Structure 1
Amino acid sequence: MGHDEQPPYQRVAGDLRRRIKSGEWQIGDKLPGRPDLARHYDVGTNVIQKAQERLIIEGFLEGRSGSGTFVRRPRERLRMVRSRHREQRRTSPFRADMADHGITGTWESHSQARTPAPDEIAHRLGISPGDPCVRTDYEFLADGRPVQTSVSWEPMAITGQTPIVLPEMGPFAGRGVVERMRSIGITVERAVELPRPGRATQAQANLLGISVGDLVLLIERTYFDADGRPVETADIVVPDVRWEVAYEFGIDAPGR
């Protein structure tokens, strides 16, 4: 296979996608069986299966147990807006973002206290490697479907002796970093986000319901208090096939 030649399943997926878009099969139509498609494209049925799985992820097809594979209405790529305004709403920013789309936002999480800070996390938080942190792994859901993951780190030197030491327990559970820190007298003044493209790892693909190697947006986010001290940092993963991320910037009026 040459460097520019597509793998067989991608070639088949591309032609099936073209045929669906051209109207050869309408929404609700059942595709021919895998053996028939395999003969048509002169490939194995495993190639057809992988091509169909690709189009299922993209939202062109849906598999129905015991019935076959059908054309479905392509999914729209929803927009996730990240701005300072999302932090000013006294609720979880994620839940508020999903509500803007008429979607119920929920999440599952697991926190582990006294986790030693790895070198990179320590650098981002301005602490020493090995200092104890609370690490929280999140899987965020929209109407029960996974839409992003996040791994959050908070220094226990800040929250260790407070009611908010575990982000998803206590009186401010689920309220977001800004509200939780405000409850212990810390004003979060700014957030810095570093977005970059990436490819899904096996672990990320399993959580997000996508394929290994699919495009994702990786966002490194750090919150700072009024003194410029980092109080939390997180690595967020957003699947590109389902969401586009937009950044909104407020412009101060002249003279302000």
Structure 2
Amino acid sequence: MTDERLPLYQRLRDDMLAKIASGEWSPGIAIPTEAELTKQYGVAVGTLRRAVDTLVQDGLMERSQGRGTFIRRPNFDGSLFRFFRQVDPQGGRRVPTGEVLSRSLESADETVAGALALPLGADVICLERVRQIDGRNVYYEDIWLPYRPFAALLDIAPEDFGNLLYPFYESECGQLIGAARETLTVEMADDRIANILGIESGKPVVVIERLATGYDGGPLEYRQSRGDAQTFRYQVNIS
């Protein structure tokens, strides 16, 4: 376990996170039982439960009555569509599909390097991606990934990327996304973005910046998604 200055339950929590990040414990799979873990770590059951409680509260694990405690797989793609709503002529909700247009090796600029905690100019993999409904582009995305963990993606043709990227990162690179933080802003579409989205230049677009991290908290993906502001709807339930 790490950093002896930390409380025992927190060191235990960090060790569990390391098992998830390394793939030893996989999302959707139950972790060992309390009896097994207390024996493995040599700790009291109360300490173990406190460590697991923090991971449950953080949304990284979930308990299932009578079945055990499981590594939770977050639904990140669902978060975008809480904000952007697309409907068909009958009012039915539509979920866009994703298509990677290109992938390339680039040098990180100040923004990307800062987001991914990399040195300025470090190698990063850049994905250019659109999301479509009936062949029409409704979102445009720039995605940056640190080179070393995702190097295998450079050997994969853009058309062979999956519709959902996070399961693809996991299957092809062994990288698990555990959490993400999103920031929403508005800007005016330049000629390039306007052409991609099929709107007039100068029209407002919503920009969603997402920083996705691994289960160990390290940054794994920085993404900018842009969509027509006229399709943007913000909804939150307050209780």
State the TM-score, normalizing by the size of structure 1: 0.53
CA distance in 1, matches of 2:142, 2:98: 13
Query: SS of the counterpart of 2:217?
Result: coil
Taking the aligned partners of 1:164 and 1:248, their CA distance within structure 2 comes to 41
Contact preservation (8 Å) 1:148, 1:238: yes
Tell me, yes or no, if structure 1 residue 135 matches structure 2 residue 126: yes
Query: How far apart, CA to CA, are the structure 2 residues paired with 1:88 and 1:214?
Result: 25
Q: Deviations over 1:31-73 (max 9, x none)?
A: xxxxxxxxxxxxxxxxxxxxxxxxxxxxxxxxxxxxxxxxxxx
The one-letter code sitting in structure 1 at the alignment partner of 2:165 is V
State the AA in 2 paired with 1:199. M
The 3 A distance-change label for structure 1 pair 196 and 102 is closer
Q: Following the alignment from structure 2 to structure 1, what is the Cα–Cα distance between the partners of residues 157 and 178?
A: 19
Answer yes or no: is 1:203 the counterpart of 2:196.
Answer: no
1:147 maps to what in 2? 138
Counterparts in 2 of 1:216 and 1:99: CA distance versus 1, 3 Å: closer
Residue 176 (1) aligns with residue 164 (2): yes
Moved more, 205-214 or 174-183: 174-183
Q: Which amino acid aligns with 1:210?
A: I
* Residues 85 and 190 of structure 1, relative CA distance in 2, 3 Å threshold: closer
Cα distance 1:163–1:213, how it changes in 2: closer, same or farther (>3 A)? closer
Say which SS state the counterpart of residue 244 (structure 1) adopts: coil
Of residues 83, 101, 109, the one that matches 1:118 is 109
Classify the secondary structure of the residue corresponding to 1:227. Answer: coil
Equivalent position to 1:191, from 153, 158, 180? 180
TM-score of the superposition, structure 2-length normalised? 0.56
Aligned residues: 159
SS of alignment partner, residue 241 of structure 1: helix
Deviations 1:2-27 (A, max 9, x none): xxxxxxxxxxxxxxxxxxxxxxxxxx
Shift of 1:102: 5.3
Larger Rg: 1
Matches of residues 26-45 of structure 1 in structure 2 within 5 Å?
none
Matched-pair contact (CA < 8 Å) for 2:99–2:159: no
Contact between 1:115 and 1:134, CA under 8 Å: does it hold in 2? yes
The 3-state SS of whatever aligns with 2:121 is coil
**Structure 1 residues not aligned, in runs of 5+:** 1-83, 252-256
8 Å Cα contact 2:98/2:164 also seen in 1: no
What SS is found at the alignment partner of 1:207?
A: helix
